[in-house]
Amino acid sequence: MFRKNLDFARRDSLSFDEVGGQQISLTNHEGGLERVSQTNAMDLVEKLYGSTLREGLDKYSVEHPLDVVDYCFLNLQEDNIRIIRLLNVAILHDVVEDYSKDGYTVDRVKSMIGLGPKETKLLDLITRKEGQENGYLQNLFALEDGAILKLADRIANLKDL
């Protein structure tokens, strides 16, 4: 319903025998590269956020993760495995913060989506824990992908002001 055309796919289909111990298959779906998994990351976000509006904005909550995907500049990435990792975490980046009280922990999201170890680590790093102020950005920015995601999130937030 809210999907944007993620037009950074360079091929119709990609397959990797193993990424983080998992079989991964990518397909070009409506012009965009998507990881085939137990539950698609965007399906989960659409289910959780539905048609709610972002606080104080005339914009649907599900649009924000897609804006973050746009600002990750995935079209400039050459490493398709990295594209998957950034795409999934960009889409899921607010789920644990917004829905932890409903049981959506990093581990639960990992199981639902079938995230690999690097995606799980990145999702855990970008998820701000209650009372966590010291070291959050230092830990996140220690990974290049963490910095890309956080900056993309901030750009998307600023754009909405």
| In a domain? residue 113 | yes
What range does the domain containing 150 cover?
A: 39-159
| In a domain? residue 10 | no
| In a domain? residue 103 | yes
CATH number at residue 43: 1.10.3210.10
Spatial distance between the Cα atoms of 74 and 89, rounded to a whole number of angstroms = 12
Residue carrying structure tokens 């990435």:
77
Q: What is the pTM of this model?
A: 0.73
Query: Residue 39 — very low, low, confident or very high, per pLDDT cuts 50/70/90?
Result: low
Q: Report the domain count for the chain.
A: 1
| In a domain? residue 46 | yes
| In a domain? residue 123 | yes
| In a domain? residue 92 | yes
Residue 31 is given by DSSP the state T
Give pLDDT tens digits for 113-147.
Answer: 888 899 999 999 999 888 777 788 888 999 999 99
Q: Is 21 helix (H, G, I), strand (E, B) or coil?
A: coil
Which strands form 22-29's sheet, in the order they lie side by side?
A: 13-19, 22-29, 32-35
Nearest to 128 by CA among 118, 139, 116, 143: 139
